Structure 1
Amino acid sequence: MKFGPVPVAEAAGAILAHSMQLPGQKLRKGLMLDADHITALQAADVTEVTVARLEATDMHEDAAADALAQALVPDPAAAGLSLSKAFTGRVNITAKGPGVVSLNQRALVAMNAIDPMITLATVPAYQQMTEGGMVGTVKVISYGVSTRDVEKACAVARGALRLRPPVHKSAALIVTDIPGGAGLKGEQAIADRLTALGMQLVETKLVPHEEAALAKALAAVSADMVLILTASATSDAYDVAPQAVRQAGGRVERFGMPVDPGNLLFLGEISNRPVIGLPGCARSPALNGADWVLSRVVCGIEVTGQDIAEMGVGGLLKEIPTRPMPRRSKARG
């Protein structure tokens, strides 16, 4: 692509690089200049304009953006994504419904390394989405880019982006209770989380904070998955709630996570039904580590102990103002 100032008389067929205000009209950047535009420029005594002129080996920014987006998402319906029509070298990729983003990070980095003019920005891997949320945006920065580079980028990033939709439809919430405890406080916040993921909270039970009572309630659940919220924080892998899961015939995959708030989460299963022991901060609608685990589990993505360990990088979330023991001490006067 050739870029730079040219005499107006030689600008027909070139792309206007910068918007220009003329008497009675505005010529916007990116406009392909024709004979009428040249006449208007000359009538306004403009003698020179800055333009981009594509060469035979170049692809127009919109055609390039379309090609890149279609390579990233070759089957939008199957990927749960929508592609906008290219405009000014940009195509937006949005979610068709709730889910979490699955991407091939290595492929996307390789795509972005081919030519600085070819770019893709996405949300982080496993980001929870709602319908219409932007998953990524393809942007060709220059007015044209090498066709060969576009083809290379398409090849390395083909099918690298998709939305994983929810596979579980219902959940049960079991809350344990102690004298003076929080009771069902937080139920609405948890129900709202599930609704955002296209699920329903079909059952809520309040049981004593005892292994036997909790195990009995767990064994009776018929929903796709079960959430446990304890009156007293789970402080050990063999505390009441994890032990109740084992007593009900299940197993505990992991207790504790390096995300704050959200440290006191545990993850397990009973008869192939996912079980998530929620930290107390899940009573609040604010983002916490349980949200990261819940969204993946709901969408059928296996979450291992190693996966949870890796969440620690970037896992320091917003400070809770009401935390009883603030981690930042007040300055002494």
Structure 2
Amino acid sequence: MFFGELPVAKAEGAILAHSLALSGGRLRKGLTLRQEHLEQIAASGIERVVVAIPAPDDLGEDEAALQIARAAAGPGIELRVVGTGRVNLHARSPGLARLVADRILAANAVDPMLTLATVPDLHRLDPGGMIATVKVISYAVPRQAVAAVAGAASGAVSLAPVVWSEATLIETQIAGQASGAKGARVTEARLARLGLSMAPPLHVAHETGALAQAIRTAPGAGPLLILTASATSDPQDVGPAALRLAGGVVERVGMPVDPGNLLFLGRCQNRPVIGLPGCARSPALNGADWVLERICCGIPISSADIAAMGLGGLLVEMPSRPHPRMTPPPP
């Protein structure tokens, strides 16, 4: 592609590289110059213009972006053409971004004029949320480079949709201690963001036997969420102990995400069980969100996966936190 200055008289058919404010109106960059445009430019006293002229084997920016986006888009993705060399990739439904990092890195290594930017892997998306954007920087690019990028990025951007329709919450209560409805209300809102409904919450005493019975008999088949009146501080505490007594398996107690440290994870009767940390009573992001989102989207999560969440697991402090990480300085 040629890019540079030309005499106005020789610029017909070229692409205007920079917008021009003329006496008769504004000509925007990216415009293919016709004879009437050249006359308007000359009438304004301009003798030379900066233009781009594609080579015979070049693709225009819009077609190049569309080819790359079509190749990169996997299941659950829809394309939205923006123009000016940009096509956005959006989620068709609620879910989590699934990105093939090696393919995206390889695509972006081909030609700096051809770019593919994404949200982080496992980022939660609402319906219509943008998961990636393809931007072609120059006005035209070699067809061969576009083919190389499209090949490298093939199927690299997809969506893991939600696989459950409902979840059940069990809350434990300590005699004489007010429980409130905030935990259920916030949990219901969390599930709604993922497109799940919440069954009527169950309330039981904060005792191992009572909670075990509730786990065994809880209705539904979707994820089972447990919000205990007192935070889980040991693998033998009420929540994990009740899950074992109910015939379930405890896979992890504690996580290196703050807020969210006091989570436990397991299974019972082929349904996932998440012991929510106390911070889950707040709508602010916490470690339980990352676990809940993966489980609701059918993505397996192991103890090792939770351990790996420590990298990037220091989240924003919640103003309502009973025990902040740092005490404020004296006045």
1:117-149 deviation per Cα after TM superposition (whole angstroms, max 9, x unaligned): 111111111111111211111101111122111
Alignment of 1:1-333 (within 5 A): 1-73=1-73, 79-178=75-174, 179-223=176-220, 224-332=222-330
Alpha-carbon separation, structure 2, partners of 1:193 and 1:325? 23
Q: 165-174 vs 142-151, which deviates more?
A: 142-151
When residues 138 and 93 of structure 1 are mapped into structure 2, their CA distance, relative to the original with a 3 A threshold, is: same
Letter of the 1:302 counterpart: P
Match of 1:23, as an amino acid? Answer: S
- Measure, in 2, the Cα distance between the counterparts of 1:81 and 1:219: 38
Letter in 2 for 1:284: S
Q: Give, as a single letter, the amino acid of the residue that structure 2 aligns with 1:7.
A: P
**1:81-110 alpha-carbon deviations (Å, 9 max, x no partner):** 210125000001111121111110111111
Cα displacement (A) at 1:300: 0.4
Over residues 219-266 of structure 1, what are the superposed CA-to-partner deviations in whole Å (9 max), with x where a residue is unaligned? 112321210000000001121111111111110111111111001111
Amino acid at match of 2:170: I
Identity of aligned residues (%): 52
**TM-fit CA distance, 1:181:** 4.3
User: Could you tell me how far apart the structure 2 residues matched to 1:221 and 1:186 are?
Assistant: 18
Taking a change above 3 Å as real, the CA distance of residues 326 and 283 of structure 1, as seen in their structure-2 partners, is: closer
SS in structure 1 at match of 2:121: coil
Residues of 1 paired with 2:276 and 2:79: CA distance? 36
1:15 shift after superposition: 0.8
> How big is each residue's C-alpha offset from its partner over 1:184-204, in whole Å with a ceiling of 9 and x where there is no partner?
432111001111111110120
Q: Is the 8 A contact 2:284 2:318 kept in 1?
A: no
The 2-side partners of 1:232 and 1:82 are apart by: 44
Alignment check: 8 A CA contact 2:62 2:86 kept: yes
Retained in 2: the 8 A contact 1:171–1:203? no
| 1:18 counterpart SS class | coil
Contact preservation (8 Å) 1:63, 1:86: no
Deviations 1:269-315 (A, max 9, x none): 11110100000011111111111111110010001111111111111
Cα gap change, 1:332 to 1:86, in 2 (>3 Å)? closer
**Separation in 2, partners of 1:240, 1:205:** 16
Question: Structure 1 CA distance, aligned partners of 2:23 and 2:9?
Answer: 19
**CA distance in 1 between partners of 2:328 and 2:286 (Å):** 25
The CA distance in 2 between the partners of 1:227 and 1:329, in whole Å, is: 32
- Relative distance call for 1:221 and 1:330 in structure 2 (3 A) is closer
Separation in 2, partners of 1:325, 1:274: 29
Greater mean alpha carbon deviation, residues 167-176 or residues 24-33? 24-33
> Which letter does structure 2 place at the counterpart of 1:58?
D
Is the 8 Å Cα contact of residues 65 and 86 (structure 1) preserved in structure 2?
no
Alignment TM-score, normalising by the size of structure 1: 0.95
Aligned-pair CA distance for 1:332: 4.9
SS of the residue corresponding to residue 203 of structure 1 reads coil
What does the per-residue CA deviation read over 1:136-187, in whole Å, with 9 as the maximum and x for residues that have no partner? 1110111112211111111111011111111111111000001314344321
On the 8 A contact 1:181/1:231 being kept in 2, the answer is no
* Range 174-183 or range 84-93, more displaced: 174-183
Change (3 A) 1:190 1:324: closer
Q: Is the 1:175–1:183 Cα contact (8 Å) retained in structure 2?
A: no
**2:197 alignment partner AA:** Q
What's the TM-score once normalised by structure 2's chain length? Answer: 0.96
Q: Which runs of 5+ in 2 are unaligned?
A: none
Matched residue type, 2:120: P
2:238 alignment partner AA: V
Question: Is there any run of 5+ residues in structure 1 with no aligned partner, and where?
Answer: none
- What's the Cα RMSD here? 1.3
